[in-house]
Structures are given as structure tokens and as C-alpha cells.
Amino acid sequence: MVRHFLDVDDLSVAELHEVLDTAAALKAGEYDTAPLAGESLTMVFEKPSTRTRVSFETGMTSLGGHAVFLGPDDIGLHGREPIKDIARVLSRYGSATMVRLFDHADAEEMAAYATAPVINGLTDDAHPCQTLADLLTIRDLFGDFDAEVAWVGDGNNVAQSFAVGAAMVGLDLTVATPDGYELDDEVLNRAAEYEGTVTTTDDPGQAVADADVVYTDVWISMGEEDRREQKLSAFDGFQVNAELVGDDAVVMHCLPAHRGEEITDGVLESERSVVWRQAENRKHAQCGLLVELLG
């Protein structure tokens, strides 16, 4: 049976911890062989990226494998040929396919026809690879998952995957979003199946009051540029700044950041910021995932 990774709860709780354990071991240099020697990863990009492309490409190299980049001009989803045909062909060339797409249904269609694992590198609904890196970062910082976490901002794809992943490892998460930008009920229902708790509010101050970690992301995501003024108005008061986070909490951001909007430059560049460790952990977490799926 082919194992796909379209969202974080495609892994069981035990498998999620195993991925994080493997990622930590790889990061510490405890693997002295190339576990994916001879394996290839095809990467289909409909959306541009810095971290996703480089972390997967360098990650496959470090594991002894190879990655092939296919941009919009190379593939042309919904253009030259159907997604189901692309999925079946790429499965015969590579050991797995990573996709970074707009429509989550396109990733699901790829998985439905692929005979090799399909990994979701981001869709408009989910960003599970980011969640793996986020959880690895929190584990790096606290040694386990005994931490209070706050999300402040948009209930977007990053927030939705993170809420489910946080619940899976037993984190207590408070999500503060403006009215109309909450997490989907379906996401909250999935999170409710696990040990951790996800609480929602429209008050950022309440969310961060006891937080060890404060996490945010851009308010205007890729493809939402025409909603810029509307969203800036709606998110007034949700900026992660020094006054909001206080003196103790560490700050996370999945990048790229719109400095001066969802987060201040001062907080992003401060000693409490762990965003660069978080970005580095994209590579380690995804390597752990690749070993789990292919090794």
C-alpha cells in the first residue's frame, strides 16, 4: 500500500514521533550511512518557494538521493496533460513526488493515481511539512512537548496543519484569530481526536497570556494580494510585537515574513526569535519524513 503525506494526521501519533526521532538523529549526525542512496524525489512546483525547494533538494542529497525540480513551465498542471497522467508517469521515474500547489484537491488527485508516495509541500489548505519542522523546533527548545503555545493571526493553511499536529503530540494550543478568519470546524474536529487541546479566541492578549511560544504567519498569503486592504483592517491589533509577547515567550514564524505587518522587525531579530532554527528544521524534519516513507 502506498503511503502518502497530504496532511500531518496521515501519520499516526506513533509514526509522527518516529519521524521526529529520526529527524533529530539526522540533525545530530547520528546516521553514518546514506539511507536513501539511489532514491529520487520529483518535485512539482505550482507556487514559488525558497525553503521548500532548497530543504527538500539538499535534504535528498544529504540522504544519498537525488531531487528533480519541475516548475510551472515544466509541468503545466491543468494544461498539457491531466494530473492523473502526470502522477502515474512521475511515480515510474521517482521514488516519491513532492508537490507545492494551490488547490488541495489537486494534491489529492495526484495521490489517488500515484503509485509512489506523494508529499504535500504546501497547498492552500495545509502545510504539513512546516508542522513537522515546527514540532521539531519546540522539541529542540523544551526537550519534550510540555509547553503552552499561542497562534496569533490568520487561521490559514499553516495554522490548520499546526493545530492538528500540536494536538497529536499533546501540546496545549490557543489560537487567536479575527472574526471570519478562524480555523475550519473540520480541522478543530480532527484536532479534538487527540490528547492536546486547541482553544480558540478573538483576543490575542488572552492567547499569549501564559504562552511559552508565540507563533504567527503572514496575514496576506500568496494569491490573496487583492484582499490586502480588507485583511490589514481585519487584523488590526493582532501584530506580534514586543508589547504583546512580553519578556519570556519565544517567537516562531514560518517565513517569509512581512515585517511591520504581522510581526515587528524588532521581535523577529530579537534573541527570543527562533525562526532561523525553525527554517533549518524544515530540512531535518523532511529528511525524517523521507526516511519514514522510503527507508
Q: What is the pLDDT of residues 68-112, one digit of tens each?
A: 999 988 987 887 899 999 999 999 999 999 999 999 999 999 999
d(CA 197, CA 167): 6
3-state secondary structure of 273: strand
Q: Identify the band that residue 152 occupies on the pLDDT scale cut at 50, 70 and 90.
A: very high
Q: What share of the chain is helix, strand, coil (3-state, %, to 5)?
A: 45, 15, 40
> Does 78 carry a binding-site annotation?
no
d(CA 156, CA 183): 7
**pLDDT on residue 204:** 98
What DSSP state is assigned to residue 184? P
Confirm if 47 and 120 have CB atoms less than 8 A apart. no
> Does 95 carry a binding-site annotation?
no
Closest to 176 in 3D by CA, of 213, 202, 154, 158: 202
Active site residue 287: no
**pLDDT on residue 83:** 96
Stretch 24-49: mean pLDDT: 93
**pLDDT on residue 36:** 97
How many CA within 13 A on the CB side of residue 290? 34
**pLDDT on residue 191:** 98
Question: How does pLDDT run across 212-254, given as a tens digit for each residue?
Answer: 999 999 999 877 788 899 999 999 999 999 999 988 899 999 9
Question: How does pLDDT run across 174-208, given as a tens digit for each residue?
Answer: 999 999 999 999 999 999 999 999 999 999 999 99
**pLDDT on residue 224:** 74
> Does 222 carry a binding-site annotation?
yes
Closest to 255 in 3D by CA, of 232, 281, 233: 281
State the average pLDDT for the chain. 96
3-state secondary structure of 286: helix
**pLDDT on residue 48:** 86
Closest to 195 in 3D by CA, of 221, 230, 168, 213: 168
**pLDDT on residue 198:** 98
Active site residue 253: no
Active site residue 9: no
The cell numbers describing 14, all together, are 506513533
Candidates 139, 253, 282, 284; catalytic one = 282
Q: Identify the band that residue 130 occupies on the pLDDT scale cut at 50, 70 and 90.
A: very high
Q: Identify the band that residue 295 occupies on the pLDDT scale cut at 50, 70 and 90.
A: confident
**pLDDT on residue 273:** 98
> Does 273 carry a binding-site annotation?
no
**pTM score over 0.85:** yes
Candidates 127, 190, 253, 284; catalytic one = 127
Cis peptide before 204 (omega within 30 of 0): no
Per-residue exposure over 3-15, b if at least 16 CB sit within 10 Å of its own CB, e if not: bbbbbbbbbeeeb
**pLDDT on residue 54:** 98
